[in-house]
Structure 1
Amino acid sequence: MRKPLLSLVAALAVTACATTPMGPAAPPPPPPADAPVAIPANIIAAVDNPLRPEVDTRRDADRLPAQVLAFAGVRNGAKVADLIPGTGYFTRILSKAVGPRGHVYAYVPDELTKLANREPAVNAIAADPAYKNVSVLLNLLPNFGAPEKLDLVFTAQNYHDMHTPLMGKPDMAVVNRRVFQSLKPGGVYLVLDHSAQPGSGLRDAEKLHRIDPEAVKAEVTAAGFVFEGESRVLRDAADKRNVSVFDPSIRGKTDQFIYKFRKPAGAR
């Protein structure tokens, strides 16, 4: 089950030390996927931002934005793309987390705006003086890119949609490669989505709005990314992953994976 955000989580830290009688010390093993992550002050302040609408804040207990963005490594001054931002739930938080020296590019696929036949919801955020560091980018999904190299490309509950007619079923090899090219060496690609049953691949992307995490890992690493790890803060074993994420029995409580991929430091 998901763990609620603790008020003192920023003070949490896990330390370990070890010595060896001879030879160089072995590198420490990676922390467990469900290990506590210290929440930086910039992210705490961004989540606590009083300008956030109530429609967003009442979802925080289910979405755990502080833990998610801490795992992504969002820092002051970062250049970030919010890929398919929807109503801008994470766009607002990212804006305050990166601060005035950073920038958030809300990338809205033209395929989606044409289908919806209305302007993107995030346009209102970009027009708000409180979010001066937000820009909206409109383009076809395969043409993903930004005016400058990025530290992070973030997409939440959308990767599965890119495999459906909703987004025009773009060639994901092209999309992921464009994401790779848009990042600085060492940059992060964070994918959060509703999980499908193991071995289901892309089968449930359109009907259930879910995707097999291993299918995502295979596609993203094929573009040159290194899989760095998973956060399990949104995992929920009570979800059998056999109904639509919009089903009243499970909506807002789905089992979700958070995968972190990194562009190698030496890559161009």
Structure 2
Amino acid sequence: MRRPLIALSLATMLLAGAAAWSSAPRAEPTMAAAVAAPTRTPANVARDRYRHPAETLAFFGVKPTDSVVEIWPGGGWYTEILAPYLAARGKLTVAAPPGRPTDSIVARLDKDAATYGKVARANFPTALGGTGVAPGTADKVLTFRNVHNWRMGYMREDKLDYSAAAFREIYAMLKPGGVLGIEDHRLPESAETGRERSSGYMKVSTVRALAEAAGFRFAGESEVNANPLDTHDWPNGVWTLPPSLQLGDKDREKYVAIGESDRMTLKFVKPAK
């Protein structure tokens, strides 16, 4: 009788072990694994050398348990990294104006449920319509190369600057102690401020003033996305450089050699109450 009892005990142990394994939480991905995710677009991966995603997101303090709002994700360059990184225990919300044609990542969310099935959607800024992010719900709000769009009045027929209102709405959606991370094309402080309305470049002082007027506290600046080869004075503004290359074949090799624009990388905090 001993052998059947031993076999039964072993079978019971194996079943218990399998049940424990199947119920164990999935391991959180590292940032390195998210950057190396096979679901990323190869053309986006090729631009890592300009955009330094792991270092940038580390500077903003993004954790895999955070509730993160990505403002105006565009084609989803950062969404491709944030979605798998936050999938296990965090939350990612992509926020864009209703019907914004350049937000091609939104069209991809339904096509790849395995990668993007948990990604929530919202609108921003709500002055342009739609339903925004609920107040006080985000740990991190991130936006990449978008403040200049608000400054230039993009998506408004009258082209009026709505950057101040945009910062106030971001402030409201963050929890106390939450972080706003900004990367944008950097205009030298010595340049004429009026160029912010046409060149795509912004002064750090302008972005800081907008954020601080909304209630944010400046928490630091990184040079991880700086490009000293960018002289900030191109005929078609920042869009002269890659990836836009608006001049086509004219001096193309020159602009490709310069690379993507010189960029500020700024971190702000909503003070804890």
TM-score (normalizing by structure 2): 0.74
In 2, the alpha carbon distance for the partners of 1:43 and 1:261 equals 21
Q: Does residue 57 in structure 1 map to residue 57 in structure 2?
A: no
Structure 2 CA distance for aligned equivalents of residues 107 and 78 of structure 1 = 16
Match of 1:210 in 2: 201
Point out where structure 1 has 5 or more consecutive residues left out of the alignment: 1-39
Which of 110, 113, 117 in structure 2 is aligned with 1:132? 117
- Say which of 182, 188, 211 aligns to 2:173: 182
Match of 2:55 in 1: 67
**Larger C-alpha radius of gyration, 1 or 2?**
2
Runs of 5+ consecutive residues of structure 2 not aligned to the other structure = 1-27, 242-253
Superposition deviation, residue 92 in structure 1: 1.6
2:122 is matched by which residue type in structure 1? L
Equivalent residues, number: 222
Q: Kindly provide the amino acid, as one letter, of the partner of residue 208 in structure 1.
A: S
CA distance in 1, matches of 2:227, 2:44: 21
Identify, as 1 or 2, the structure richer in helix.
2
The share of aligned pairs that are identical, in percent, is 30
Quote the offset at 1:245 in angstroms: 1.5
Residues 139 and 233 (structure 1 numbering): CA distance in 2 closer, same or farther, change over 3 Å?
closer
State the distance in 2 between where 1:81 and 1:93 align. 13
1:136 aligned partner, one-letter code: R
Q: Does 1:228 align with 2:219?
A: yes
| Structure 1 moving runs of 4+ over 3 Å | 138-145, 199-202, 248-252
Q: Secondary structure at the match of 2:238?
A: coil
Contact 2:199 2:238 in 1 (8 A): yes
Find out whether 1:256 has 2:263 as its counterpart.
yes
CA 217–139 in structure 1, closer or farther in 2 if over 3 Å, else same: closer
Partner-residue secondary structure (3-state), 2:232: coil
CA offset at residue 201 of structure 1?
6.5
* Counterpart secondary structure, 1:245: helix
**Residues 227 and 260 in structure 1, CA contact (< 8 A), matched pair in contact too:** yes
Q: SS at the partner of 1:193?
A: strand
- Structure 1 pair 227/201, CA: closer, same or farther in 2 (3 Å)? farther
Kept in 2, the 8 Å contact 1:126–1:135? The answer is no
Cα shift readout 1:32-91 (whole Å, capped 9, x = no counterpart): xxxxxxxx9621111011111112111111111111111111111211111011000001
Show the counterpart of 1:197: 188
